Chain A
Amino acid sequence: GNSVTQMEGPVTLSEEAFLTINCTYTATGYPSLFWYVQYPGEGLQLLLKATKADDKGSNKGFEATYRKETTSFHLEKGSVQVSDSAVYFCALKRTGRRALTFGSGTRLQVQP
């Protein structure tokens, strides 16, 4: 079946530090991959996506590259801010399926 595995949190960083949140997946075929962010008390917001191998999604300084050979979609940001503190979910969507399969989420805490 389909599954998404994320690194456990919380991840605690100082402002301006480099961020990596690991995500690997298991799926048949060629799924689309997504990162969603959830701020406290809010719903999920799409952060970025990639739809085929070697695609790079990017938004608000965050980037992730679809790596088919390692079945990974790691999220990176060069310099985090306090306002980036949130829970980040990696997700996949298999071709022909409507549902998203989410990872368990990784909480990021950025300290001033």
Chain B
Amino acid sequence: DAMVIQNPRYQVTQFGKPVTLSCSQTLNHNVMYWYQQKSSQAPKLLFHYYDKDFNNEADTPDNFQSRRPNTSFCFLDIRSPGLGDAAMYLCATSRSSSDSNQPQHFGDGTRLSIL
């Protein structure tokens, strides 16, 4: 089945130690998104790629970066994680968005813990 896969499901890192989360997709969608979801809250968009074009949300901290080496893969890099960055990180994809009808397809998320 075509899907969005996130690895790992659970990630533990130390305060200030860089960490990378990965997302891959077999849907061949040209848009990929990263969301941060803290406990009992709505997902919050961090940034997205439209093909190779990177689109950052205005309030995304500089500590968060992303890379998309090809259509299938997208990475979330947290340069110096703080305790406040502990959250579930969700990757999503969608087809070209000239049509607002296109839904986003989500992976199961990576739960990040900071020691």
User: A residues bordering B, Cβ < 8 Å?
Assistant: 31-32, 34, 36, 41-46, 49, 51, 89, 93-100, 102-105
CB–CB B42/A105 < 8 A: yes
Query: Which B residues touch A95, using CB under 8 A?
Result: 100
Kindly list chain B residues whose C-beta atoms are within 8 Å of the C-beta of A94. Answer: 100
Size of chain B's interface in residues, with CB distance under 8 A? 26
Q: Which of B42, B48, B106 lies in contact with A103, CB distance below 8 A?
A: B42
CB distance from B8 to the nearest CB of A (A): 13
Known: A42-B108, A42-B109, A43-B90. A49 touches B41 (CB 8 A): no
Main secondary structure of the interface of A (DSSP, over half): loop
For chains A and B in complex, what number of residue pairs have CB atoms within 8 angstroms? 58
Check if B90 sits within 8 Å of A44, measured CB to CB: yes
Interface residues of B in 44-100 (CB under 8 A from A): 45, 48, 50, 55, 57, 90, 92, 94, 97, 100
How near does chain A come to B10, taking the closest CB pair, in angstroms?
A: 10
- In contact, B108 and A102 (Cβ under 8 angstroms): no
CB-based contact A49/B103 at 8 Å:
yes
Complex: how many Å from CA A44 to CA B90? 9
A34-B90 Cα distance, complex, nearest whole Å: 17
- Contact partners of A97 in chain B: CB under 8 A: 97, 100
Say yes or no: B45 contacts A100, CB within 8 Å: yes
Asked if A49 and B105 sit within 8 Å, CB to CB, the answer is: no
Residue contact B42 to A96, C-beta cutoff 8 Å:
no
Q: Give chain A nearest CB distance to B103 CB in angstroms.
A: 5
> Which of A31, A36, A44, A104 lies in contact with B100, CB distance below 8 A?
A31
